[in-house]
Amino acid sequence: MKMHCYLKSWRADAGITQMTRFILVTIETSIYSSLASIRRKATDRFAKENGATFSIQRELFVWLGYKAFHLVLSKKRTLYNLVLERLQKNVESKRLSPKTKIQLSQMKAVVRDGWANMVALQY
């Protein structure tokens, strides 16, 4: 929701619907830079010394990222309707391998639990 606050403050010049492309690019950049950061931290000297591993597949991580943004921005559905439509298409269009589909079914429980905790938050 921090992103929502930034967008709301920038909205003076252009409505959020006009910023849809910018928002989508920002979301995508955020997801991929998070993945790169986690991979980098999982392979640094400190992580190796402590036996840390990172074994999530890229396509699953990206799916989770799109799903997370979709769930959070759906709290402000009227403002982000166009963004939500595109995010939903991204979530649905991701072609997942059979192995990833098994992992995804396990992750759906995590998403459900996370969403249950999000409901308690006020925006």
Give the C-alpha separation, 57 to 75, whole Å. Answer: 28
pLDDT score recorded for residue 113: 74
pLDDT score recorded for residue 12: 46
Instruction: Give every residue of the chain whose pLDDT is below 70, as ranges.
Output: 1-4, 6-17, 94-98, 100, 115, 117-123
Nearest to 60 by CA among 82, 83, 85, 38: 38
Give the C-alpha separation, 21 to 119, whole Å. Answer: 27
Span 54-84, pLDDT tens digits: 777 788 888 888 888 888 888 888 878 888 8
pLDDT score recorded for residue 90: 78
pLDDT score recorded for residue 108: 73
Nearest to 22 by CA among 37, 35, 3: 3
CB proximity list for 45: less than 8 A, separation 6 or greater = none
Average pLDDT, whole number, for the chain?
77
The helix-helix angle for 58-73 and 20-42 (nearest 10°) equals 130
User: What does pTM read for this prediction?
Assistant: 0.69
Sign of CA dihedral 102, 104, 106, 109: negative
